[in-house]
Amino acid sequence: MEKENIAVGLDIGTTKIVAMIGKKNEYGKLEILGVGKSKSLGVARGVVNNITQTIQSIQQAINDAETNSGYKIKDVVVGIAGQHIRSIQHTDYISRSNPEEVIGGNDIQLLIDQVNKLAMLPGEEIIHVLPQEFKIDGQSEIKEPIGMYGGRLESSFHVVVGQASSIRNVGRCIQSSGIELSGLTLEPLASSDAVLSQEEKEAGVALIDIGGGTTDLAIFKDGIIRHTAVIPFGGNVITDDIKEGCSIIEKQAELLKVKFGSAWPGENKDNEIVSIPGLRGREPKEISLKNLSKIIHARVVEIIEQVFTEVKAYGHEDPRKKLIAGIVLTGGGAQLKHIKQLVEYITGMDTRIGYPNEHLAGNSDEEFSSPLYATAVGLVMNSICNNTQSAIRKEEVVPQRTVYYREPVVETVERFEPEVEEVQTQVPVYSKNEESTGEKIKRSFFDRYVDKIKDFLDNAE
């Protein structure tokens, strides 16, 4: 069973929490072994605001995934989102004492340490360091500096920053749920891994992930992440608008949006009406589908215009920055009827809906090919890249698990932490030899950041 690399992703969204267990099959595709889903309680706009409720929701999703798969989850890769996320462009360099020596891994590490010293606003921490391109002695557009000669090694970085407290709250929820944190990744980056092709990333593409609480943007050009942003509006505000505009309860508003909603009012005739049952014996309420579409249209236009402002801030009109592959929509909001046409109308850019089915095994349940699961699939793929062994078959751990369930959660975390950390420190060594320098920088920085969160949680016990 050593060879069975089981990966687990945990998508903590505003409307739902998804735990997904998977592994790579012999054809290199992702085979889904089990999925658990629960209503997300205690999360607003991608940020935890009630620890207890979030823990309960995570535990329910984890238990469902374990029941459906027959595996016991040890650790997870978690997606980070929320309006506290922001990104900056930064250029840094080191001067090498001996330019006649070949540039090696130590020089790259020194460059990472330089970036780590960046001064952030109070309460903020760097959570992603994404290298753009390298320069050696003024020679630009170098993608792989290792093995070259030079005195001044310079690189431009896309640095993603977030509120330390928000990220630690996520870590606390994971640990208190009786599992470990094996990795963190920005949710739009996870979604991009699931729905974008390498050709699109090379040509230039904007990924728009419309979730329940936030809308995430990730822009790629020349195969490199160039810009990220989080808009603090998602599908939930559309539901709220319907609730207020039609004077109905939230459950009915959500159902109306999913079943009859359209982002393009012109598609509905004036006489199309849907009847909603009245509350507690009251008269049924009749709602015009054209009016419903007008409510949805107004809010979707606002969200897309805010996202497009970020795309323009990136400078997509510059010929060198042109997004030839256009826009890819994913997330639950991408399922709204006629949203593709509306986005094309507002932006003037080619648009498609992004499905994660390209990476899934042929026998996968059709449900998991939905844009709704793009982030969860991307997180599992991230876990596979880290070579984690995040879950083991239940029959292998029966004697230990009997004790595990009877102990308090805090003791469980202490008991299993040495085991998980041992896997983490050993496994990445095998993949790092084959990684590009850019990947090394991302992974090295991120491994240390996850360790930092673990240390913080342990010291807070």
Q: What is the pLDDT of residues 375-396, one digit of tens each?
A: 999 999 999 988 878 888 877 7
Same domain, 140 and 11: no
Q: Decide: 346 and 307 in contact? Cβ < 8 Å.
A: no
**Is 326 inside any structural domain?**
no
Same domain, 363 and 449: yes
Same domain, 70 and 119: no
For 376-423, give the DSSP string: HHHHHHHHHHTT---EEEGGGGHHHHHHHHHS-HHHHHHHHHHHHHHH
Structure tokens at 356: 């994660």
End position of a domain, from candidates 164, 186, 219: 164
Q: Rounded distance, CA 269 to CA 379, Å?
A: 42
Q: For 138-156, what is each residue's pLDDT tens digit?
A: 998 888 899 999 999 999 9
Own/partner long-range contacts of 295-298 (Cβ < 8 Å, ≥24 apart): 295/238, 295/241, 295/242, 295/245, 295/246, 296/238, 296/241, 296/242, 296/257, 296/261, 296/262, 296/263, 296/336, 297/262, 297/263, 297/264, 297/265, 297/342, 298/241
Same domain, 158 and 19: no
End position of a domain, from candidates 145, 164, 183: 164
Alpha-carbon Rg for the chain, nearest whole angstrom, is 23
Same domain, 78 and 180: yes
Amino acid letter, residue 20: M
- The CATH number of the domain where 35 resides is what? 3.30.420.40
Closest of 11, 52, 56 to residue 35, by C-alpha: 11
Q: Decide: 217 and 85 in contact? Cβ < 8 Å.
A: no
At residue 422, the pLDDT reads 40
Q: Decide: 163 and 124 in contact? Cβ < 8 Å.
A: yes
Same domain, 66 and 104: no
Same domain, 93 and 107: yes
**Is 422 inside any structural domain?**
yes
**Is 55 inside any structural domain?**
yes
**Is 281 inside any structural domain?**
no
Same domain, 39 and 92: no
CB atoms near residue 212 (< 10 Å):
23
- Confidence at 271, pLDDT banded by 50, 70, 90: confident
Q: Which of 110-124, 196-210, 405-419 has the lowest mean pLDDT?
A: 405-419
**Is 450 inside any structural domain?**
yes
Strand partners, 198: none
Q: In the chain, how many domains are there?
A: 2
Q: For 389-448, what is each residue's pLDDT tens digit?
A: 888 887 776 554 443 434 444 443 444 444 434 433 333 333 334 566 766 666 655 566
CB atoms near residue 70 (< 10 Å):
13
At residue 88, the 3 state secondary structure works out as: strand
- Confidence at 130, pLDDT banded by 50, 70, 90: confident
Closest of 6, 2, 1 to residue 387, by C-alpha: 6
Same domain, 367 and 446: yes
Same domain, 136 and 111: yes
Closest of 138, 166, 169 to residue 151, by C-alpha: 138
**Is 134 inside any structural domain?**
yes
Q: Rounded distance, CA 292 to CA 294, Å?
A: 5
Closest of 247, 432, 399, 254 to residue 333, by C-alpha: 254
Q: Decide: 148 and 134 in contact? Cβ < 8 Å.
A: no
Closest of 258, 354, 342, 278 to residue 305, by C-alpha: 342
- The CATH number of the domain where 107 resides is what? 3.30.1490.110
**Is 118 inside any structural domain?**
yes
- Compare 71 and 458 and report the one with higher pLDDT: 71
Structure tokens at 271: 């006489």
Q: Rounded distance, CA 278 to CA 275, Å?
A: 9
**Is 336 inside any structural domain?**
no
Same domain, 188 and 120: no
- Angle CA(119)–CA(122)–CA(127) in degrees, nearest 5? 65
Same domain, 39 and 181: yes
- Global pTM reads 0.84
At residue 443, the pLDDT reads 62
At residue 407, the pLDDT reads 42
Stated length of the chain: 461
At residue 444, the pLDDT reads 59
Please report where in the chains the tokens 């739902």 appear, as a residue. 16
Residue numbers of the domain that contains 29: 7-82+165-194+358-459
End position of a domain, from candidates 122, 149, 164: 164
Q: Alpha helix locations (H) across 2-130?
A: 51-69, 105-116
